[in-house]
Amino acid sequence: MNDFVGYESRNGVGIITINNPPVNALGQGVRAGLVSCLEAGLADDSVNSLVLIGGGRTFPAGADITEFGKPLKAPDLRAVIVAYENSSKLVVAAIHGHALGGGLEIAFGCDYRIGDAKCNVGLPEVTLGILPGAGGTQRLPRLIDPSAALDLILSGAFVAAPKALKLGILDKVAETDLLEAAIEYAGELISSGAPRRRIRDMEINADAKIFDEARATAKKRARGFEAPLKCIQAVENAATMSFDDGLREERVLFEELVSSDQSKGQRYMFFAEREVAKIPDIPRDTPLRDISSVGIIGAGTMGGGIAMNFANAGIPVVFVETTQEALDRGLGIIKDNYAATVSRGRLTQDAMDSRMALFSGSLDFSALSDVDMVIEAVFENMALKKEIFQKLDKVCKPGAILATNTSTLDIDEIAAETGRPEDVIGMHFFSPANVMRLLEIVRAEKTGKDIVATVMKLSKKIRKVSAVVGVCDGFVGNRMLHGYMDQAMSLLEEGALPQQIDKALFDWGWAMGPFAVMDLAGNDVSWLIRQEQAPDRDRNLPYPHTIADQLCEQGRFGQKASKGWYLYSEGSRKPEIDPDVDALVLKVSAGKGITRRDISDQEIVQRCMYALANVGADLLDEGIALRAGDIDVIYNAGYGFPRYRGGPMLYADMVGLDNMLASINQFREDFGPLWRPSKYLEKLVAEGKTFSGT
Ligand code: CAA
């Protein structure tokens, strides 16, 4: 018994309660308390069975992740589980909230498991780049069907009580108060003479082919990730080795993973994703505004995608468009999108109908007079946006949030068109907005704290990963991408071809290479922006986009035109190399008097990645991004950055900021003034610090 775990007895049953808020993580104090309370229960002659339960909101949600990578203090979690498994008195685990990772593994050390109707169980270790290292890979495939166990371990999914009962992870679901039900259950088990149940003694029969199939799938779906393959190995060991040998091997595989850079990256992302929701000058208890209805101006691709997020969360949406035709077209596209989901069996027709019923439309701004929030989603034109915000200022009720979905324009300037700049905010969705997880919440100079807090909360409701950023051209994600794209384009002119650059970055872990991405997004989009920005361009800097411009002059706008940096066959999204593009690349290089050279994949990765992180450093310096972790969350959720490398800023830390700075200085000498080391990077190197503080 200690501060973290308590013991008491009731009705002949010993109750061991864990109290380590917020999630009862199994830190050293909890582990020690679990052992001493078990000893107390075994020594207590007034009880003949034990119940293990979490205090507060949950059963343990896993090992304490902050302890990983540090010397482990006894007792080790595995020893705790073995102690429960070898207990001379029957033990029932009583689960509410979440029993995850090491938490569920402790429950596997108990004889029986009862959960309340709302509990969830799971082994999410794979998402942290590790495997269930306290016997989970050996016990779960003995307790339930090995194929289902493998799926659960590989997906890291949370399983709700009814399914957990069906799978056999839970033995019973409590209809009443969990502790009372667990005490009663323990009593029943004893009085009925129920057998002790050590999972380690259970038989396992797995078909060998499930492991080969799982490996083939993991190589495709989790390309580049090490943990899934080791999870499969560990579960296969459970089927082919004795329990003790399998457990020993599980530890070896766990140790390899927990000390890997991949796991460091994935653990860092776990905390970065929680940190991103905390805004230093906005207290958690900031009063929020109620958002029960939303207006969207523009029912085009972006407006329609944004609207679907709200309908999915049960929030009604009023569209305002300029013509009935545009309105009908927008609603038609939404309907087709939902219908496609229904036909794939991922949405019921009823659910689709009730979502469609949440949309209404108007050609008149007065339809927005009563909504709690408006999101403007028209094309990027400052004059038009200013006109819209002037109208909104007139028609919207006091307290309504006025948001713009601009991706480039100055929100301070837009807000100044209203008499209520404190109610104006940017919500930068990424296309397709109903699919992409990322939302940049752009806090303008005068945006109210309660507005930021409300939009943060709302973003959770519409299932977005959001980060608060400041106003600048491109905000965080796209501004960084400019640096990255400049390098991809320069590399083309110097000697590489699109397919080589794409392959180097894809093999490194990006979901897609930069040229494939541009073909997907539409090459005309960045072409138009370049044309608009041409008058302000610094003529002393090299211009690496000549090839991209000439491609667009030929109408090669990407997938939608069936040709861009690649060719696309009718109805296919598979890029095919086009010799005409290669010829254009060579022609432009020759035209600029560049002698092409062989460029290594390593140089491609270094130059693109360092350019990305170097702009990231500027954004931190300017306060546009609050933390390195926020940038990494943005790149993970919105740009296909490989999670097992953390994000661009953590990657730079891992390379070593001094190494990166030395390379950037060398690049400046070799390739000219497009390279300029960030002052903030220089400062951190001088102080011996890192971006992430790790
Ligand atoms: N270790 C340390 N801290 C943890 C933690 C853990 N396992 N799980 C959550 N926390 C912290 C969070 O960082 C957060 O801290 P702050 O308030 O300071 O930001 C706090 O607990 C609350 O967490 P959430 O904000 O995530 O709360 P939520 O209610 O949204 O979600 C949850 C709760 C579903 C349990 C979620 O926290 C979660 O998924 N936790 C991680 C579960 C996990 O991965 N477990 C496996 C651990 S590895 C393991 O157990 C290895 C093994 O085999 C031995």
Q: How do residues 47-62 score in pLDDT, each as one tens digit?
A: 999 999 999 999 999 9
Q: Where are the domains of the chain?
A: 5-259, 294-469, 477-623+627-687
Catalytic one of 125, 249, 440, 494:
125
pLDDT for residue 41 is more than 80: yes
Q: Which amino acid is at 655?
A: V
pLDDT band at 475 (very low <50, low <70, confident <90, very high): very high
- Backbone φ, ψ for residue 111 (5° rounding): -75, -40
pLDDT value of position 571? 81
In ligand 1, the atom with minimum distance to the C-alpha of 97 is 35
Q: Choose which residue among 23, 106, 630 to substitute to test ligand 1 binding: the one with the highest number of ligand atoms within 8 A of its C-beta.
A: 23
The residue contributing the CA closest to ligand 1 atom 32 is 61
**Signed CA dihedral, 162, 163, 166, 172: sign only:** negative
Which CATH class for the 294-469 domain? Answer: alpha beta
Q: Is any atom of ligand 1 closer than 6 Å to the C-beta of 135?
A: no
CA 158, CA 127: separation in Å to the nearest integer?
Answer: 12
Q: Is any atom of ligand 1 closer than 6 Å to the C-beta of 25?
A: yes
- What is 62-101 written as a DSSP string? SS-GGGTTSPPPSSPHHHHHHHHHT-SSEEEEEE-SEEET
Q: What is the pLDDT of residues 171-220, one digit of tens each?
A: 999 998 999 999 999 999 999 999 999 999 999 999 999 999 999 999 99
Q: Is any atom of ligand 1 closer than 6 Å to the C-beta of 131?
A: no
Q: What is the pLDDT of residues 598-621, one digit of tens each?
A: 999 999 999 999 999 999 999 999
Lowest mean pLDDT among 323-327, 448-452, 534-538: 534-538
pLDDT band at 532 (very low <50, low <70, confident <90, very high): confident
Q: Is any atom of ligand 1 closer than 6 Å to the C-beta of 62?
A: yes
Checking DSSP bridges between strand 13-18 and strand 5-10, what pairing results, if any? antiparallel
* CB contact at 8 A, 2 and 33: yes
The residue contributing the CA closest to ligand 1 atom 31 is 23
The residue contributing the CA closest to ligand 1 atom 19 is 274
The residue contributing the CA closest to ligand 1 atom 16 is 274
In ligand 1, the atom with minimum distance to the C-alpha of 132 is 53
Checking DSSP bridges between strand 120-122 and strand 159-160, what pairing results, if any? antiparallel
Q: What is the pLDDT of residues 422-444, one digit of tens each?
A: 999 999 999 889 999 999 999 99
| Mean pLDDT calculated for residue range 381-404 | 96
> Kindly report the CA angle at 50 between 49 and 51, in degrees rounded to 5?
135
pLDDT value of position 431? 84
CA 85, CA 328: separation in Å to the nearest integer?
Answer: 64
Is 2.30.29.30 the CATH number for 477-623+627-687? no
Catalytic one of 105, 226, 376, 494:
105
Q: Is any atom of ligand 1 closer than 6 Å to the C-beta of 106?
A: no
Q: What is the pLDDT of residues 284-334, one digit of tens each?
A: 999 999 999 999 999 998 999 999 999 999 999 999 999 999 999 999 999
Q: Is any atom of ligand 1 closer than 6 Å to the C-beta of 133?
A: yes
Nearest to 666 by CA among 655, 656, 679, 675: 675
61 CA to middle of ligand 1, Å? 6
Q: Is any atom of ligand 1 closer than 6 Å to the C-beta of 122?
A: no
Q: Is any atom of ligand 1 closer than 6 Å to the C-beta of 66?
A: yes
C-alpha 239, offset from chain centre: 33
**Signed CA dihedral, 511, 515, 521, 527: sign only:** positive
pLDDT value of position 295? 98
pLDDT for residue 261 is more than 80: yes
DSSP category for residue 562:
T
Q: Which amino acid is at 102?
A: G
pLDDT for residue 70 is more than 90: no
- What is 140-203 written as a DSSP string? HHHHS-HHHHHHHHHH---EEHHHHHHHTS-SEEESS-HHHHHHHHHHHHHHTTPPP--GGGS-
- Backbone φ, ψ for residue 136 (5° rounding): -60, -35
Q: What is the pLDDT of residues 87-138, one digit of tens each?
A: 999 999 999 999 999 999 999 999 999 999 999 999 999 999 999 999 999 9
pLDDT value of position 110? 98
pLDDT value of position 204? 96
| Mean pLDDT calculated for residue range 383-406 | 97
> Could you tell me which residues are beta bridge partners of residue 404?
376, 426
Q: Residue 209, class by beta-carbon neighbours within 10 Å (0-12 exposed, 13-18 middle, 19+ buried)?
A: exposed
In ligand 1, the atom with minimum distance to the C-alpha of 124 is 44
pLDDT value of position 408? 84
To the query of whether residue 213 is one of the catalytic residues in this protein, the response is no
CA 46, CA 56: separation in Å to the nearest integer?
Answer: 26
Q: What is the mean pLDDT of the chain?
A: 96
Nearest to 248 by CA among 102, 128, 78, 111: 78
Q: What is the pLDDT of residues 492-513, one digit of tens each?
A: 999 999 999 999 999 999 999 9
Q: Is any atom of ligand 1 closer than 6 Å to the C-beta of 100?
A: yes
Q: Which residue has the tokens 């598979």?
A: 574
Q: Which phi-psi region, left, alpha or beta, contains residue 168 (left: φ > 0; alpha: ψ -120 to 50)?
A: left
In ligand 1, the atom with minimum distance to the C-alpha of 133 is 53
Q: Is any atom of ligand 1 closer than 6 Å to the C-beta of 514?
A: no
pLDDT value of position 525? 83
The residue contributing the CA closest to ligand 1 atom 33 is 23
415 CA to middle of ligand 1, Å? 38
Q: Which phi-psi region, left, alpha or beta, contains residue 641 (left: φ > 0; alpha: ψ -120 to 50)?
A: beta
Q: What is the pLDDT of residues 14-36, one digit of tens each?
A: 999 999 999 999 999 999 999 99
pLDDT band at 71 (very low <50, low <70, confident <90, very high): confident
The residue contributing the CA closest to ligand 1 atom 15 is 274
pLDDT value of position 112? 98
In ligand 1, the atom with minimum distance to the C-alpha of 128 is 44
In the sheet with 159-160, reading across from the earlier edge strand, the strands are 98-100, 120-122, 159-160
pLDDT value of position 72? 84
pLDDT for residue 374 is more than 90: yes
In ligand 1, the atom with minimum distance to the C-alpha of 63 is 50
Q: Is any atom of ligand 1 closer than 6 Å to the C-beta of 64?
A: yes
679 CA to middle of ligand 1, Å? 36
Q: Which amino acid is at 624?
A: I
pLDDT for residue 671 is more than 90: yes
CA 608, CA 612: separation in Å to the nearest integer?
Answer: 6
| Mean pLDDT calculated for residue range 561-582 | 94
Q: Which residues contact 656 (CB under 8 A, 6 or more apart)?
A: none
Is 3.30.310.50 the CATH number for 5-259? no
The residue contributing the CA closest to ligand 1 atom 28 is 23
To the query of whether residue 105 is one of the catalytic residues in this protein, the response is yes
Q: Is any atom of ligand 1 closer than 6 Å to the C-beta of 156?
A: no
CA distances to 426, 444, 452, 538, 645 from 288, rounded to whole Å, are 17, 18, 9, 44, 36
pLDDT for residue 694 is more than 80: no
The residue contributing the CA closest to ligand 1 atom 13 is 271
CA 97, CA 116: separation in Å to the nearest integer?
Answer: 8
Q: Is any atom of ligand 1 closer than 6 Å to the C-beta of 27?
A: no
pTM of the model: 0.93
| Mean pLDDT calculated for residue range 384-407 | 96
Q: Is any atom of ligand 1 closer than 6 Å to the C-beta of 272?
A: no
